[in-house]
Amino acid sequence: MTDTTTITSATGTVEHIDPTTITIETNVRPGETMAPLPREFVASIRDHGVMEPVIGYRDEQGNVVVRAGQRRTLAAREAGRPTIPVYFGAAPADEAVRIVEQLIENDQREDLTEGQRAAAWQQLAFEGLSAATIAKRVGRKAAEVKTGLRVAENAHAAATVEQHTITLDQAAVLIDFEDHPAEHAELVEVAETNPTRFEHAVQQVRDKIARAEAAAALTAELAEAGWTIRDREPMYGSEEAKNLVRVNYMVTAEGERITRADVEDVEGREAAVRATYSGPEASLFIPKKIAKERKYRDANANAAAPAGPLSDEEKARRKTVREGRAAWKSATAVRQQWLTAKIAGKTLPKDAINLVAEALTGNRWAMHRSLERGNATAAALVGIEGVESSSYYGPNAFDGWAQEHPTKPLHAALAVVLGSYEEGMHENTWDSGDPASAAYLTRLASWGYGLSDIEQMVIDRAAERATAVEALTDDEADAEPFDEDGYDDDPETPDAA
């Protein structure tokens, strides 16, 4: 029997009506009545009912028609609620009135901000409710509530999420950068303007901070050992450059490489520390007269002498290479974390088997190298820890894995293929225009991976290279115009000592 409890007011009535008997009116939101309802929303309706009455009227046949509150009505049906509250007003005079009223109702609707939601969860926590209990009560996932509580408990994060249009997850990540205001502001801007790049930006900032901290630690260590710390290396041609010699690439009279320990007894020794993508590097200097007394010589003395300081173009190129390699390293960390999560999922991309086939037939050299070295990257992708690249005769990290995971044969094959592509790329891939790497990254993007700027550059340069090749004559193509990569062996080498 339908509950027809009625609450009468000056402007209308509220009745509790069986949601399965209600007709849902056409809505200004296209497809709203057909849109899938979030499970959390249905669970909330199941646990608490419809707390705010939907708005409706009775038509000429006496049928109950809902004008505003379609999703609540559908969720109540799905949740099995026996009744929902319906506020009854007058039937619309015409179709135009319906559209106007629905526009007003939707325009005036304002959801809670992320900050307000997190603050409310914090109040529930103060009342003694656990994160799991709060999640159940409000129809959210426990992990989301825990993140919200972490944000609410941090004044800086709570202010950030209230002042900017970012998610609770992003705000929680930003907690790690409170002591780095410039980087924090940079990441907030990325979260608001280009959220698909947020993880990449975070990794780049983490790496940048880690490099700076490592350089600071080495600087402190050298200062503790009695070295005079320089802000930068001596300028080429300056008076101080004429009186100092860099010992990093020098050897003794017998040809032995000079180490830091060999010169830590020298008075007037100086050091300049730089943060590089591969770790901190210290340029060590001692007075030239002492180097002569000890008969130190340049390890490359037989090589042609440098022509002088680098040109502005050469400096710019080296700067580009350094920054590109650092960005690629950061992107690789994010990409491989994403691949690990993808491999761990129950459902693989629909065309995963296609990529496996393409790799076995068209990427044989990368596959060969990776297999020879023991599939170290592939092992990491499936959670096998501590595996390092080894020789052909090294242990196989995947021994027994397929037998232990009989329901995941494609997962294993895909991991090996992905690992081979990953190991086939290197620190200069971003600048190579390699078509295989470009195709691989394009495939990952089609699977939902958000490419970083440096990864997108691989695709763009591959397209540029293909266009350039198409424009070549047969003779020009035979001349292999792309055989020079433009890199030196040590782009970190300073201009001059």
Q: What is the pLDDT along the chain (497 residues), one digit of tens a residue?
A: 444 444 444 457 889 999 999 888 765 454 444 457 777 788 888 888 888 888 888 888 888 988 778 888 988 998 899 999 998 877 765 556 555 555 555 555 556 788 888 888 888 888 888 999 888 887 788 999 999 999 999 999 999 998 999 999 999 999 999 999 999 999 999 999 999 999 999 999 999 999 999 999 999 999 999 999 999 888 877 888 888 999 988 998 888 899 999 999 999 999 999 998 889 999 999 999 999 999 998 887 654 445 567 788 888 888 899 999 999 999 999 999 999 999 998 889 999 999 999 888 888 788 888 877 778 888 889 888 777 766 566 667 777 787 888 888 899 899 999 999 999 899 999 998 899 999 999 999 999 999 999 999 999 999 998 888 777 655 555 544 433 344 444 444 433 33
What HEC string does the chain produce? Answer: CCCCCEEECCCCEEEEECHHHCEECCCCCCCHHHCCCCHHHHHHHHHHCCCCCEEEEECCCCCEEEEECHHHHHHHHHHCCCCEEEEECCCCCCHHHHHHHHHHHHHCCCCCCHHHHHHHHHHHHHCCCCHHHHHHHHCCCHHHHHHHHHHHHCHHHHHHHHHCCCCHHHHHHHHHHCCCHHHHHHHHHHHHHCHHHHHHHHHHHHHHHHHHHHHHHHHHHHHHCCCEEECCCCCCCCHHHHHEEECCCEECCCCCECCHHHHCCCCCCEEEEEEECCEEEEEEEEEHHHHHHCCCEECCCCCCCCCCCCCHHHHHHHHHHHHHHHHHHHHHHHHHHHHHHHHHCCCCCCCHHHHHHHHHHHCHHHHHHHHHCCCHHHHHHCCCCCCCCCCCCCCCCCCCHHHHCCCCHHHHHHHHHHHHHHHHCCCCHHHCCCHHHHHHHHHHHHCCCCCCHHHHHHHHHHHHHHHHHHCCCHHHHHCCCCCCCCCCCCCCCCCCC
Q: For residue 266, what are the domain limits?
A: 208-305
Q: Give me the pLDDT at residue 94, please.
A: 58
Checking 309-316 for CB contacts under 8 A at 24+ apart, the result is: 309/236, 309/237, 309/495, 309/496, 310/495, 315/495
Q: Give me the pLDDT at residue 47, please.
A: 84
214 and 231 belong to one structural domain:
yes
Closest CA to 419 of 343, 346, 350: 343
Q: Give me the pLDDT at residue 98, please.
A: 54
CATH number of the domain encompassing residue 88: 3.90.1530.30
The dihedral sign for the CA sequence 368, 374, 377, 381 = positive
**Is 218 a member of any domain?**
yes
Across the strands, what pairs with 122?
none
11 and 81 belong to one structural domain:
yes
367 and 341 belong to one structural domain:
yes
268 and 376 belong to one structural domain:
no
Closest CA to 383 of 356, 408, 359, 358: 408
126 and 142 belong to one structural domain:
yes
**Is 486 a member of any domain?**
no
**Is 198 a member of any domain?**
no
**Whole-angstrom Cα distance, residue 288 to residue 234?**
13
254 and 271 belong to one structural domain:
yes
**Is 94 a member of any domain?**
yes
Domain stop point among 274, 305, 336: 305
225 and 357 belong to one structural domain:
no
Closest CA to 113 of 121, 125, 105, 124: 121
336 and 460 belong to one structural domain:
yes
User: What crossing angle do the helices spanning 352-362 and 364-372 adopt, rounded to 10°?
Assistant: 90
Count: domains in the chain:
4
463 and 389 belong to one structural domain:
yes
**Is 488 a member of any domain?**
no
Q: Which residues contact 144 (CB under 8 A, 6 or more apart)?
A: 135, 168
**Is 83 a member of any domain?**
yes
342 and 423 belong to one structural domain:
yes
**Is 276 a member of any domain?**
yes
133 and 157 belong to one structural domain:
yes
Cα radius of gyration rounded to whole Å, the chain:
33
pTM comes to 0.66
| b/e sequence 352-371, b meaning 16+ C-beta within 10 Å | beebbebbeeebeebbeebb
**Is 484 a member of any domain?**
no
333 and 468 belong to one structural domain:
yes
